[in-house]
Structure formats: C-alpha cells, structure tokens
Amino acid sequence: QSFKLLGFLDVKSVPCSRESVLYGSVGSLVVGLGHFLATSRVRRSCDFAVGGFICTMLGYWFYCRYNLAQHRIQQRMLKEGMRNKILFEGSSLDPERKQTGNEGSNS
C-alpha cells in the first residue's frame, strides 16, 4: 500500500522520502522532548518539535538526494566506460594495448 504525505507526496515511490519522514520523526521527538525536559513548557516544546521535524526531514532529504544523484552519475560514467572498453578493446585506440616497436614509432 502507498502512503501519501500531505495528500500528494507518495512516500513509497519517491526516492528518499520514506527515510526522510522517519528521520524527521525521530528528530522531532528528540528536539521536542529535549526542549520540554529543559524548560517544562509544553506548547513551546511542541513548536520546537515541529521545527525539528521540518529541519531534520529537509536536511536528510537534501543529503539523500545529493548522494543519489552522485551515485547515478558514477553509474553512468561506469556504464560508459564499460561500453568504451568493449568498443575499443583490441583496436589501435585501446589505451591498454601494448605498442610494439614498429607500430608506435614513425621515425
């Protein structure tokens, strides 16, 4: 089953959304409870808990999406490198091919 946050964000299908909501919940609990234990003010602690949820969720969201983008770039580079390796293997353009004395010198 899918779970929609705020009616439009499908937590199951969007990358990083599930972890962001979970870490945001934990951040909310820690910040709100910590503020309550320090001040014993319930309403202000709830405000801090909501702020902690938003900050933690957005912070982890950007962190996770940045890592996901880097991972996809690395995958694309690796795929292209493998394609080039297969394409140029054994040809004169192969950088790993050892050049013999007659092939590499024009003097």
Query: pLDDT at residue 11 above 80?
Result: no
Query: pLDDT at residue 2 above 70?
Result: no
**Mean pLDDT over all residues of the chain?**
83
Tokens of 16: 């990083």
Give the SS3 label for residue 47.
helix
Taking every pair of Cα atoms in the chain, the longest distance, rounded to a whole number of angstroms, is: 87
Asked if residue 30 lies in contact with residue 52, where contact means CB atoms within 8 angstroms, the answer is yes
Q: Using CB atoms within 10 Å of the CB of residue 45, give its burial: 0 to 12 exposed, 13 to 18 middle, 19+ buried.
A: buried
**What would the pLDDT profile of 30-69 be if each residue is shown by its tens digit?**
999 999 999 999 999 999 999 999 999 999 999 999 999 9
Asked if residue 50 lies in contact with residue 28, where contact means CB atoms within 8 angstroms, the answer is yes
The pLDDT of residue 106 is 55
Query: Which one has a higher pLDDT value, 21 or 99?
Result: 21
When pLDDT is averaged across residues 20-28 and rounded to a whole number, the result is 92
Q: What percent of the chain has pLDDT over 90?
A: 52
